[in-house]
Amino acid sequence: MESTTHKQILSGLQADHFRHPLDLEATAALRQLPGLDVLIRAALGPVAEQVLYLDNISSSVLVSERQLPELHDSLLEACQVLDLEPPQLYVRQHPVPNAYTFAMRGKQPFIVVHTSLIDLLTPAEVQAVIGHELGHLKCDHSVYLTLANLLTLAASQLPLAELWVPTLQTQIMEWVRCAEFTCDRAALLVVQEAKTIAALLMKLSGGSPTLSAQLNVEAFLDQARAYDAAVDSELGELVKQVRSQELTHPLPVLRAREIDRWSSSPEYQSLLNRDATQYNKEMSSQGGWRNW
């Protein structure tokens, strides 16, 4: 795996420096539910951590200085950029390209990346995936991600769940999709090249190891702009909402469009071109964070 160099290190970076405004709104709404995050952490954290730790340590490869060292270096660099303590990173044999994160109580956070995802992507794109997953840790998303999984299970198995689950499930799934926009921003802060994120999303949409060389990032971004035009009507907006409401992630073209726009924004350039600690002082002196 090729090495990565010359990254701007964002010393003092905080989650609210790069949260997507939709994530801010959705998180604020969830926090209005008193005690929810404390209840989930207390009830499930120790059990889930132990079960998942044993599953990973027995069925996956733990990345380290001695094991897949180039991937380990990529993780350490991404953590340094985001000013975050490194979690454990596992590589798991799996035919479906995917990656996920767990950190219920902060004691043993970990990231799992499937082998099929690594086979599909370049080293820079793999680091973008790692950066995205680190975004979940930086923003403490894992509590509500766990809640989303619980609600999906409850909707199908608990008596009378259909009376109370749908409203909360709709709210939490909306938050999940908004959180993904934030983590795409974390990925961009790590790799510091918007086309790398777009290429990653393009390959997740319709790529394979045999097709990768023929894929065109600019054409995919044009496709994202065409989608915007296609839904620019009341009917188009309705279709988009119906299409998206059950998804755990925003549509890939929307994610590519969002990251393309943010990469050109003054906020992103300001974060990238100065020390985040100084940025924090400047924002505080202005009366708080801007709603990006």
Select from 248, 246, 244, 253 the least CA-distant residue to 206: 253
Selecting among 77, 125, 133, 258, the annotated active-site residue is 133
Question: How many other C-beta atoms are found inside a 10 Å radius of the C-beta of residue 28?
Answer: 10
133 is catalytic: yes
| Residues acting as catalytic residues | 133
